[in-house]
Amino acid sequence: MDFSYTQEQKMLQESVQKFVQKSYDFDTRNKIMASERGYSEENWQLFAELGWLTVTFSEADGGLGGSAVDLILMMDEFGKAMLVEPFIPTTVLGGGLISALGSAQQKAEFIPQIMEGRLQLACAYAEPSSRYNPGSVATTAKVDGDSVTIDGIKIAVLNGSNANKLLVVARESGARTDREGISVFMVDADAPGVSIQAFTNIDGKMSAQVSFEAVEVTVAARLGVAGGAIGALETVIDRATVAVCAEATGALEAMLQKTVEYSKGRKQFGTPIGTLQALQHRMVDMFIECQMARSIIIRAAMKLDSGDDEIEKARVVSAAKSRLGKAIRKVSQEAIQIHGGIGMTAELDVGHLFKCVTALAMMFGNIDYHTARFAEL
């Protein structure tokens, strides 16, 4: 199996590297987080101009037809800078569902808007009792002729406070945990009956709890056939899971680099602590964890684009997320321990990196969930 990157992939990676190194330092990120929207609209338009918002879409949909490997190369660099722009909720989750389920008319209407940076999306699928399971849906969609009435509550909706449209996962038929009967509807964020309670995650990204009370849409707002969305939803979430794995790996490598630099400058009894063999061994262990995580994530990305069946793909994704969770625990804890108390202060970026990887470890399923999922598949 060839793990080397193509020339096009190297160019994509370099373009993201240049942006984060020149335009997305720690102070800039803090200013963006403190803004009203919690992300930079100027950066988002720049992403569109650079073509980054087209990477996840197929050539048939007007995109670059990028692979999952292309995606993780971008996310790895985003993770190093702790990027807060809503790339995953808009392009990977929202755009992925439209690509997978949307009609030709829906794709023609929405995908160009996404790629041009004019449309922000949020995927509202998680619920208070779902526990990472996208097939556990209590939100209802009652069809009456050409009208659909949506009622329910969604939690942890990434980019829910900034989205123009919400992709709402709702049940048209069946019991709460039935796989059949689940549909996805495009709902305007400002539609009557939609209530959005915004909040900031510990990693600085914006999320929301969204309530739907007798929200009226037409059947034309449905993506795909009635009750047949669960397969596409799981596939899109798996791709987003691999993306956040790559983002976390980038953040872990940044933590390692900053820990090594700190150990060279921090002195105890006139000697840099980085010269102490015990700390050197701990930092080597951090490096090993980063490399192991990166390897399994690359394998997961390559598996997503292979011709293997969906169950095998899901197994590899869960294996990657589970292994990443262990790497996050080891690397982040060691980084804080070697830095000491200053590592948890707001003035040092290591503390913010710790918050980022902690949030990413929980996103789309924690260690326990993905270990159990791997065993069950």
Q: How many structural domains comprise the chain?
A: 3
For residues 237 and 333, membership in a common domain is answered with: yes
Q: What is the pLDDT of residue 270?
A: 84
Domain that holds residue 127: 121-226
**Mean pLDDT, rounded, for 241-255:** 98
CATH number at residue 132: 2.40.110.10
How does pLDDT run across 175-228, given as a tens digit for each residue? Answer: 999 999 999 999 999 999 999 999 999 999 999 999 999 999 999 999 999 999
For residues 212 and 135, membership in a common domain is answered with: yes
Could you say which of 115, 140, 168 is where a domain stops?
A: 115
Q: What is the pLDDT of residue 364?
A: 97
Could you say which of 87, 115, 143 is where a domain stops?
A: 115
**Mean pLDDT, rounded, for 121-126:** 98
For residues 81 and 135, membership in a common domain is answered with: no
Cα–Cα distance measured from residue 70 to residue 374, given in angstroms and rounded to the nearest whole number: 25
To the nearest 5 percent, what fractions of the chain are helix, strand and coil?
55, 15, 30
**Mean pLDDT, rounded, for 89-93:** 98
Could you say which of 115, 144, 172 is where a domain stops?
A: 115
CB-based contacts of 247: which residues, under 8 Å, 6+ apart? 75, 76, 78, 79, 88, 360
Whether 3 shows a pLDDT value over 80: the answer reads: no
For residues 250 and 362, membership in a common domain is answered with: yes
Helix, coil or strand: residue 202: coil
Q: What is the pLDDT of residue 207?
A: 97
**Mean pLDDT, rounded, for 153-170:** 98
Q: Are 145 and 192 in contact (CB under 8 A)?
A: no
CATH number at residue 27: 1.10.540.10
For residues 248 and 367, membership in a common domain is answered with: yes
Q: What is the pLDDT of residue 1?
A: 60
Instruction: Establish if 203 belongs to a structural domain.
Output: yes
Q: What is the pLDDT of residue 268?
A: 85
Q: Which residue matches tokens 């915004």?
A: 198
Q: What is the pLDDT of residue 347?
A: 87
Whether 75 shows a pLDDT value over 90: the answer reads: yes
For residues 136 and 243, membership in a common domain is answered with: no
For residues 235 and 372, membership in a common domain is answered with: yes
Name 270's bridge partners.
none
Chain-wide mean pLDDT for the chain?
Answer: 96
Instruction: Establish if 1 belongs to a structural domain.
Output: no
Quote the pTM value: 0.96
**Mean pLDDT, rounded, for 3-31:** 93
Q: What is the pLDDT of residue 5?
A: 87
For residues 14 and 53, membership in a common domain is answered with: yes
Q: What is the pLDDT of residue 111?
A: 98
